[in-house]
């Protein structure tokens, strides 16, 4: 299921009447069954692109075409950095929530939820509440809740950004395993160069705001992948290229933030 983004521009209107251009002329085709990582500095519109593809935001101009989908968002599901789990619902009820809203019968949705809970390594925690789980476990619940909808497109907005380093590695490996099994079309937003290269078939490097595509790096590392690849020469060469592409953009973004902070004080 190809996703074609054509000349998308997003402008936010400020309370004082000023306009902030978040995206300007973003054009790219996300190929079906591929894992695409969007890498860029803070404020460059990475998350906005994911939300536009998911039908959660409407672009100021430009368009998104999803092959075989009637409308934006009907073929996709989003996983956020904040898990947004319902604290009063157990793990199994959180995972099954989307099916419940879709009118699926209780027994059927419970059976499907158990399969997904097992797939993310949480068997035995079905009746636990989010407050009883670690951060990594809660993120697994959020991932299972998204996967149970069985949408062909998986949108992920820095889903591992708040996790500690060890838990992040476990979740990255879990996601790689799931991708190898399902071959969903994945758009993954991240600040991490390592993460983008490890997970992605391509890394879309963006400029500082207004966000444009600076370069698309093809990642020709073999699958299945593991974190051990980070120490290989090929990975190092990709990291070096991505780092040099993004370093200037991060510097620009920081300078803009400093100017804005100075104007506000």
* Residues β-bridged to residue 66: 3
Q: Give pLDDT, residue 259.
A: 62
Tell me the pTM: 0.90
What percent of the chain is modeled with pLDDT above 70?
A: 95
C-alpha R_g of the chain:
19
User: Has residue 261 got a pLDDT over 80?
Assistant: no
Q: What is the pLDDT of residues 210-225, one digit of tens each?
A: 999 999 999 999 999 9
Q: What is the pLDDT of residues 76-119, one digit of tens each?
A: 999 987 768 999 999 999 999 999 999 999 999 999 999 999 98
Q: Is 123 exposed, middle or buried (0-12, 13-18, 19+ CB in 10 A)?
A: exposed
User: Has residue 241 got a pLDDT over 90?
Assistant: yes
Q: Mean per-residue pLDDT for 192-213?
A: 95
Q: 17: pLDDT confidence band, cut at 50, 70 and 90?
A: confident
User: Has residue 260 got a pLDDT over 70?
Assistant: no
Q: What is the pLDDT of residues 115-170, one digit of tens each?
A: 999 988 899 999 999 999 998 899 889 999 999 999 999 999 998 888 888 888 98
Q: What are phi and psi of 183, to 5 degrees?
A: 55, 40
Q: Give pLDDT, residue 72.
A: 62
CA distance 176 to 187: 13
* Contact (CB, 8 A) for 230 and 195: no
Q: Which domains does the chain have, with CATH numbers?
A: 3-75+151-264 (3.40.50.300)
Q: Give the largest CA-CA distance in the chain.
A: 58
Q: Give pLDDT, residue 262.
A: 67
| Sequence-distant (≥ 6) Cβ neighbours of residue 185 within 8 angstroms | 1, 2, 3, 30, 31, 32, 33, 34, 152, 153, 154
Q: What is the pLDDT of residues 56-72, one digit of tens each?
A: 999 999 999 998 877 66
CA distance 190 to 203: 10
């Amino acid at each position: 299921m190809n996703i074609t983004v054509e000349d998308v521009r997003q402008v936010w209107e400020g309370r004082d009447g000023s306009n902030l251009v978040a995206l300007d002329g973003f054009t790219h085709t996300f190929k079906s069954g591929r894992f695409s990582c969007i890498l860029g500095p803070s404020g460059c519109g990475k998350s906005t692109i994911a939300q536009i593809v998911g039908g959660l935001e409407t672009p100021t101009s430009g368009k998104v075409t999803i092959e075989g989908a009637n409308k934006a968002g009907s073929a996709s599901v989003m996983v956020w950095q904040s898990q947004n789990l319902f604290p009063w619902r157990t793990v199994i009820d959180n995972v099954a929530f989307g099916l419940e809203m879709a009118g699926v019968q209780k027994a059927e949705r419970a059976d499907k939820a158990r399969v997904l809970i097992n797939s993310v390594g949480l068997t035995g925690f079905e009746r636990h509440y989010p407050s009883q789980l670690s951060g990594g476990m809660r993120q697994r619940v959020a991932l299972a809740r998204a996967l149970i909808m069985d949408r062909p497109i998986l949108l992920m907005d820095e889903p591992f950004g708040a996790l500690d380093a060890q838990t992040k590695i476990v979740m990255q490996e879990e996601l790689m395993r799931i991708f190898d099994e399902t071959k969903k079309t994945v758009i993954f937003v991240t600040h991490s160069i390592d993460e983008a290269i490890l997970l992605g078939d391509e890394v879309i490097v963006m400029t500082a705001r207004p966000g444009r595509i600076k370069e698309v790096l093809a990642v020709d590392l073999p699958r299945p992948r593991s974190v051990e690849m980070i120490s290989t020469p090929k990975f190092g060469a990709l990291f070096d290229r991505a780092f040099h592409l993004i370093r200037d953009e991060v510097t620009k973004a920081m300078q803009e933030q400093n100017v804005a902070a100075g104007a506000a004080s």
